[in-house]
A and B are shown apart, each in its own frame.
Chain A
Amino acid sequence: MSDPADFTIAEAARALRSGETTAAALLKAVRRRVTMTEADLHAYLTIDAEGAEASAAAADEAFARGEDRGSLQGIPIALKDNMVTRGVETTASSQILAGWIPPYDASVVTKLRDAGAVIIGKTNLDEFAMGSSTENSAYGTSRNPWDPERVPGGSSGGSAAAVAVGSALAALGSDTGGSIRQPASLCGVVGMKPTYGLVSRYGLIAFASSLDQIGPITRSVDDALAVLETIAGHDPEDATSFRGELPDFGSQVDRGVDGLRIGVVSELLGEGTEPAVADAFGAMLERLEGAGAEIRELSLPSTAYALSAYYLIAPAECSANLARFDGVRYGLRVDGGETVEDMMGATRAAGFGPEVTRRILLGTYALSAGYYDAFYGQAQKVRTLVIEDFKQAYQQADVLVTPTSPTTAFTVGERTDDPLAMYLSDICTIPSNLSGDPGISVPIGVDDAGLPIGFQVLAPALAEPVMFRVAKAVEGLAGFDARPTLANSEGAA
């Protein structure tokens, strides 16, 4: 029998119900994997051993009573550390929140608990989710389980690494410009960003409110579906949360791609795409065609400006969202002089890392009198154009596909001195944050260095059913079964 830490949710759910394993045993296996890999990986910031054991025991008792709250009951899940957890330190990887113990649970956390999930701990991220490598974490960089010299991607790098290596069966991440999909791609797992508003943001420490969305990171498309079904739905605590009837996310998942129109966005296959990535992507297109899909090349001209618009809108929103970290009510306080203002300035200077500071400054500037129209105002217009372009494209195709990231995992330190190169990691993922549409990354192979390559499927708002359908087909056609070095060398022992 394989190690339960390597189970998918679906496999674990079956094993829990057949009596083959228990939630406690599952947790133990996962904790063992954590112990074996954390020194190399640093996926976690906090492990909630007591809370997890209590949840696992409760899940086992529920099973014993014949009570079944669905596929996540007893499943060990990790949370990106920008989702607040009552009684468990939550820092968003920032010094400014060092030691902060939230007095409340994020709505997704409540939903997971209600579903009987076992929350193992909090995973590392780029500070306040700003970054693409976890190198901006104030608490050290997480490593890629396929090659510890490399980054796991970001900002949900800790979540992706943990799922890839078996330190959690699934994790939640947050995606503002690709922060779920890009690390999923770099770590060889599935990462999904739902339609904006499907999953409550209440309790997600905001980076850019109009772009942030929580979603699952899992080892299979079916698992992503299972997690999404648990966490999606209207939340009265989030005024931007979707109020209508939810689509039946899994209604088409096993139907295959025969007869579907799949659009390839020419602008997102340009310079900067590594040959191995382009080759793997092209090969998958051929297989999809072979499976009956019609491949159409489409143009989304506005995507050329999407990155620029994103880097005005997201910093502008973050400049206000992060204003609350002032040393007055919680977190770090540095007495910087005579006045309250001095204290606030000193606290913020000491508490925020360089990338967060850069974005706050950018955003403050973009919103300033005299610059608003040229920067923030213009960026909003581009956003409208991107939305229009996507609408046009979705008249000609059921889904759009791109490589998730133009490159595979890069080495630690390679891009830290070049913010622009780092920002380009998200070129393929950012447009759908601007439009609010869903997207998913599915691993389809590895490059010559054995590093995973991700394939992205984008769909119109609320069209998750067709997105999952194509993603599941891609997963099947890829037959991706490689395992990360760290999980293989240690986990198989």
Chain B
Amino acid sequence: MTWEAVIGIETHVELRTHSKMFCGCPVGFGGEPNTRVCPTCLGLPGALPVPNEKAIEWTMRLGLALDCEIAEHSLFHRKNYFYADMPKNYQISQFDLPLCADGHLDVTTETGERRVGITRVHLEEDTGKSTHLGEGGRIGSSGGALIDFNRAGIPLMEAVTEPDIRTPEEARVYAQELRAIVLALGVSDARLEEGSMRFDANVSLRPAGVVELGVKVEVKNMNSMRSLQRALAHEIERQTEILDGGGAIAQETRHWDEEAGRTEAGRSKEESSDYRYFSEPDLVPLSVGDEEVGKLRAGLPELPAQTRARFEAAGVDATGARVLVTSGLGTLFDEAVAAGAAATEAAKWLTGEVTAYLNREDTDPAGLQIDGTALAELVSMVEAGDLSSTAAKHVLEGVLAGEGEPRRVAEARDLIQIRDEGALSEAVAAVVAAHPDEMARIAGGDGKLIGFLVGKVMQATGGKADPRRVSELIREAAAS
């Protein structure tokens, strides 16, 4: 039978606000455990939450970027369950009245465009982080568990899609697009590997053409865009095999094991699914007026889809525009163009060498040692003939390694092309003089040997000669 996959994605995004969701502790990553804590985010008796207005505003910004309705009235609820790294044993979250609802995000893949419905975007608080010593969470039999509450209370935005996604590729593109939007809004660093952006996916299969949904499995623990796509592909395969074999899918949570390349059932002990939500009495209802929503909408930055369209209009091809946006290099591109670089050239360097560098170094654009002015300088040096394209790659390498501006790197590495006619003629004359036989054959019409002699000149000049000019000079010498 042909099965159709039905996928929905829940995304958690830690907001990089100055302070936590309900207290004044700074938001950060890493550092000494339990150093960014206070009575409120530790859940000490008597402490109370005070909402972070910025986090509420930022959540509405994401909602607007996803074409959501912003709720005039919304509420925080308590979600009750016991967990050692959750300080109050309830999480302040949102339930039936989220800040944003009913939006959508269009994703384009090789198979076409799909509109993914956004059910809701809401705001909650993150939990602490447990480190288990020995076997999972067992106090008696192991060294116990250590809990770091630095993360507890960091604002956490959750965006939930409708079950509109059909393929693992669509899921990845959706995730990349959402991440690009979050980055464009500047509300999070959205680092998957650090957990500041996390994806959970619900996957079910149904016979092609059937409307009812099958039994869904929740897949967790996907720490990269690639593992999201792989995990879903695997899970679809796993479910297909079960269904084709006449079996039934168990509704469960499965964890993606990146190394093994498969999903595995979570611990069998079922967590209570009754969270006993009730409205948070320590907080007052949120109300947002049309005027504020209008202001937020007007203040939205250019969104990735708009940025791509603008890049394409500037002459960048569709793939290049997509890579620039998803890899977060759009700003660098704009700066380079503003500094005088041709759009196509700037895009070529950024989507080629620079992107390769980012992948190789496993870093992000914020950590790059190059700015738009430097990139424009590199482009103009190539155009002016100061750098061969090979030399330019070496210069870029040096710039990215922090050796300085392109011209300085080129000079320091002695890569500037010899444009002094006299010096060039001397070098050519020396090679010509050393190869009388070859010169005679060239003069006799054997053009293939020119390349050989150009190579000799390049060798002699340490690659700094302009090969086209050298070729011309050799022809002239042979003809004279």
Contacts and interface: CB of A to CB of B under 8 A. Distances in A.
A341 B82 contact: yes
Given A364-B276, A367-B276, A202 B82 contact: no
Contact of A367 (B87, B141, B278): B278
Given A201-B48, A239-B282, A340 B39 contact: no
A202 B281 contact: no
Given A237-B50, A324-B89, A367 B45 contact: no
Contacts of A237: 48, 50
Interface string A427-456: 000000000000000000000000000000
Interface in A326-341: 326, 328-330, 335, 337-341
Contacts of B138: 338-339
Given A240-B282, A326-B82, A329-B42, A340 B137 contact: yes
B278 A339 contact: no
B274 A368 contact: yes
Given A97-B45, A103-B44, A239-B48, A320 B78 contact: yes
- The size bracket of the interface on A is 35 or more
A324 B45 CA distance: 8
Contact of B80 (A106, A320, A340, A343): A320
A106 B46 contact: yes
B269 to A, nearest CB: 9
A324 B83 CA distance: 10
Interface in B26-47: 39, 42-47
Contacts of B78: 320
Interface string A168-210: 0000000000000000000000000000000001111110111
A376 B45 contact: no
A102 interface: yes
B251 to A, nearest CB: 17
9 contacts: A84-B45, A104-B47, A335-B139, A335-B140, A339-B137, A339-B140, A367-B276, A367-B278, A369-B274
B478 interface: no
Contacts of A324: 43, 45, 87-89
Contacts of A344: 82, 84
A370 to B, nearest CB: 9
Nearest to A328: B84
Contact of B82 (A90, A239, A323, A329): A323
A104 B51 contact: no
A348 to B, nearest CB: 10
A307 B147 CA distance: 42
Give the top 5 A-B pairs by smallest Cβ distance, nearest first.
A323-B89, A210-B281, A367-B276, A209-B281, A203-B46
Contacts of A328: 84, 147
Contacts of A100: 45
B87 A338 contact: no
Q: Is the interface of A mostly helix, strand, loop or mixed?
A: loop
B80 A323 contact: yes
A326 B80 CA distance: 14
Interface residues of B, number: 34
Interface string B283-303: 110000000000000000000
A382 B78 CA distance: 21
A205 B46 contact: yes
Interface in A377-418: none
Contacts of A203: 46-47
Interface in B71-106: 78, 80, 82, 84, 87-90
Contacts of A317: 278, 281
Contacts of A83: 46
A340 B142 CA distance: 11
B239 to A, nearest CB: 28
Nearest to A331: B45
A298 B82 CA distance: 47
B49 interface: yes
Contacts of B431: none
Interface in A298-320: 316-317, 319-320
Contact of A204 (B46, B51, B84, B88): B46
Nearest to B273: A369
B175 to A, nearest CB: 32
Interface string A89-101: 0101000010010
Contacts of A341: 82
B458 interface: no
B84 A102 contact: no
Nearest to A345: B82
Interface in B116-167: 137-141, 145, 147
